[in-house]
Structure 1
Amino acid sequence: MANFFSNLFNRNNDPKSIISFDVIDPIYAYLYNEEGSVELKIKGIQETVLVNLYSFPTSLDHEEGRAEIEKAGFKNAYEVLNELYKKVDIGVVSEEIMQQELEFDFIHIQFYSQPSAEMKKYFNKVLNNFIILFCCTNSLEINDFKILYTGSHFIDYTKGLLDSEKLDVNTPKNETQEIGIKDFKTVLQGMCQYMNIEIPESVELPSSENLLESEEVTESTFEEFVKLVSRGSIEEKDLKKQTKKLFKNYKKEAKEYYSIVEDHFAFFESIDSWNSDWKFDPEDAIYFISYMLGEDFTFDYPEETYSHNLFPYIQSELEKLNLELLTYDTQGDNYLFFVANKEDVERILELSELTKIEVNQL
């Protein structure tokens, strides 16, 4: 009976889901009363998660914001808010309410996820923006919320909001949204941990881990990274040499960036890897992957298929060997490939975050 009433009239309060009012409301209270802007690192989420509490009209009431509103064809921030409300079936703000200059708060949560299979052809990561708008469902008080979603960068903040779309977390439109929603659940759990918010016992948690527990970076961290990236093929003497060099570089100041990156390249040259232009033929992939594996490798692919369009076919064949092709992010127009054991990929990506040696899935 309690579960029935907690989800009465289709409110966003599924007692089993972390994306529910019972979780979102205390997060809102924390942002309102403690910190209106939060940046945090959460295990399993790429880079920093940004969480901000904004309000209409105050957050757009500045010279740049007013210019964005005018450029979008609106007179004031309330009109922008009404456009958002229409997207998610919330009653619009009346002219009378506008005259009272009441404020309407919303939460903007931003983070990166791994790209979908299709997006991997073009990006190493994709941006998620979850815009949480509050509303009343069969009530005179705030007791519900709706979510807008977009993968765009908010260069023009007003346009970014207006380009967002209504999100149904139970029926994502595509794989990108599906991955984003999965990570959003992890982000909410990490936020609750950071804000000391007790999650209801009925909620099915995305993770059983301490999502904020930071792992200390030591020489052993780099040793583990080198072992996994080399698939254990590196000799003990070279292992110690590369470990010491990479750890020493890690402690250097940012102004020594180029010398740090140079030693990253030196490390990958010391193991079986393939440094390629961004354009390559299937024959190149066959030759160099065979070299990295130390055995003949081939794969099937459609005619006239080249470069990044070959990745799905390469990965499919490598998966049969329990392997995966990864790349070091050169920050340029070339790839630096290496092959990893499939079961080690998740840990390699975690170590990549810790060591600042940027490795990406393809």
Structure 2
Amino acid sequence: MIKDFFSNFFGRNNDPKSIVSFDVIDSVYTSLYNGENRLEIKLKGIYDTVSVNLYSFPNSFNNEEAQSEIKKAGFKNAYEVLNEIYKKLNIGAVSEEDIQAELEFDYIHIQFYTEPTPETKKYLKHVLHNFIIFFCCTNSLETNDFRMIYNNSYFLDYTKGILDAEYIDINDPKNDTQKIGFKEFERVLQGICQYLEIELPESIELPSQENLLPEDVEITQETFEEFIKLVSRGNVDDKLVQKQSKKLLKNFKKGHTEYHEIVQGHWAFFEIIDAWNSDWKFDPEDAEAFISEMIGEDLNFEYPEETYSHDLFPYIQSALEKRDLELMTYDTHGDNYLFFVANKNDVGRILELSELTKIEINQL
């Protein structure tokens, strides 16, 4: 496999202070090439896993599904697809001689989720980001640079997805979704390096000073007790906390995989705290009434006329923020919400405990 080909660019992506630099990317490539070329990595603060894959043209497209996608996109073979991407990146095309020699050209595809923007939070809980890295040469006969394309869509048709991705400058996001994704990419890249045990140069300004790999944490009754106290804001009797935490731990250890088995115990738990089980459609009057009941005081908030359901969240949160509170929900995986109110300074820890206990909690 090779990754040596020409670029028409004069500046290299190798800022010694940035983690998004050729030296770092090349180290990741070398680790993938010499070891496992497909990774699923769990990082702190990232929903689900980070997917890291080393693919190549044409080898990764030598299957029936990919060949069908290539023809559907109007191309004859994988090299034509690659040259179309190179055109977008201003990288010189693969020559006919190299095609006949069946040379392979490697690239890295990194995929992860982030929180959505406030606007998209109305209808999305997480946003997918795809960063696809191609290697090239800048004023050199050897690989010394890279270019990236990006999109935030699911690759249901992989060939179409990679063709639709746009060339990006990591330092120049075009919208709020890209701002979130590009910034998080730096932290994700640091986590990948940590996972692969790649030693980073001291000159790099690290996006995070913490260990990004999750530590092995023993889940105990105390873990669930802390969770209950935080989501209830301490408004549950201690004996009930102990009783419920024992039940939750017992169910956790059973390792249920069926949906109804997982949520049955969770629903029983939320019945003991101030929570609001609501249909996905609700009006502002219901929100004011139920949230007032949950927090023990009248909550009134201003909102535009004809505003309902999830469109009310920004106005509800704004009113609660004045009380250092935040509305959250248990993820029912259905068409309803199970709302509760948390102290704002406890939200981060609640989300951490949610991940540990597998009781899925979402911000709104």
For the 8 Å contact 2:186–2:207, the answer to whether it is kept is: yes
Alignment of 1:292-303 (within 5 A): 292-303=294-305
Query: How far apart in 2 are the matches of 1:56 and 1:337?
Result: 48
Distance in 1 separating the partners of 2:362 and 2:178 = 20
1:223 Cα deviation from its structure 2 partner = 1.5
Letter of the aligned partner of 2:350 in structure 1?
Answer: I
| Conserved? CA contact 1:45–1:183, under 8 Å | no
Q: Distance in 2 between matches of 1:347 and 1:88?
A: 42
Map Cα deviations across residues 155-199 of structure 1 (whole Å, 9 max, x no partner). 211111112111211111111111112221111111111111011
> Does the aligned pair in 1 maintain the 2:117–2:176 contact within 8 Å?
yes
TM-score in terms of structure 2 length: 0.95
Matched residues in 1 for 2:180 and 2:226: separation? 28
Structure 2 equivalent of residue 57 of structure 1: 58
Displacement of 1:247:
1.0
Percentage identity across paired residues of the two chains: 69
Q: Within the alignment, does 1:356 sit opposite 2:358 as a pair?
A: yes
Distance 2:237 2:168 in 1: 51
Distance in 1 between the 2:165 and 2:128 partners? 13
Give me the whole-angstrom Cα distance separating, in 2, the residues matched to 1:16 and 1:154.
Answer: 32
**In structure 2, C-alpha distance between the alignment counterparts of 1:216 and 1:96, rounded to whole Å:** 58
Structure-2 separation of matches of 1:213 and 1:331: 25
Deviations 1:21-61 (A, max 9, x none): 12111000000011111111111111111111000000001
Asked if 2 retains the 8 angstrom alpha-carbon contact of 1:315 and 1:324, the reply is yes
Q: With structure 1 as the length reference, what TM-score do the two structures score?
A: 0.95
Shift of 1:217: 2.1
Provide the C-alpha distance between the structure 1 equivalents of 2:247 and 2:65, rounded to a whole number of angstroms: 47
Residue matched to 1:45: 46
1:195 aligned onto 2:196: yes
Kept in 1, the 8 Å contact 2:107–2:135? The answer is yes
* Aligned residues of 1:116 and 1:175 also touching (Cα < 8 A): yes
- Within 1, Cα distance between the matches of 2:257 and 2:139? 58
The alignment status of 1:291 with 2:293, answered yes or no, reads: yes
Quote the Cα distance in structure 1 between the aligned partners of 2:57 and 2:149. Answer: 16
Distance 2:146 2:103 in 1: 18
Moved >3 Å (runs of 4+): none
Gaps of 5+ in 1: 1-7
1:259: Cα distance to partner? 2.8
Letter in 1 for 2:345: E
Q: Which residue number corresponds to residue 207 of structure 2?
A: 206
Aligned twin of 2:345: 343
2:173: which partner in 1?
Answer: 172
Give yes or no for the alignment of 1:78 onto 2:91. Answer: no
| Deviation, structure 1 residue 256 | 5.1
**Match of 1:4?**
none
The alignment covers a number of residue pairs equal to: 355
CA RMSD of aligned residues (A): 1.4
Confirm or deny that 1:254 pairs with 2:256: yes
Write the deviation string for residues 200-254 of structure 1: whole angstroms up to 9, x where unpaired.
1111112222111323322222111111111111110111111111111111133
CA apart distance, 1:96: 2.3
User: What CA distance in whole angstroms lies between the structure 2 residues aligned with 1:252 and 1:314?
Assistant: 37
Shift of 1:344: 1.2
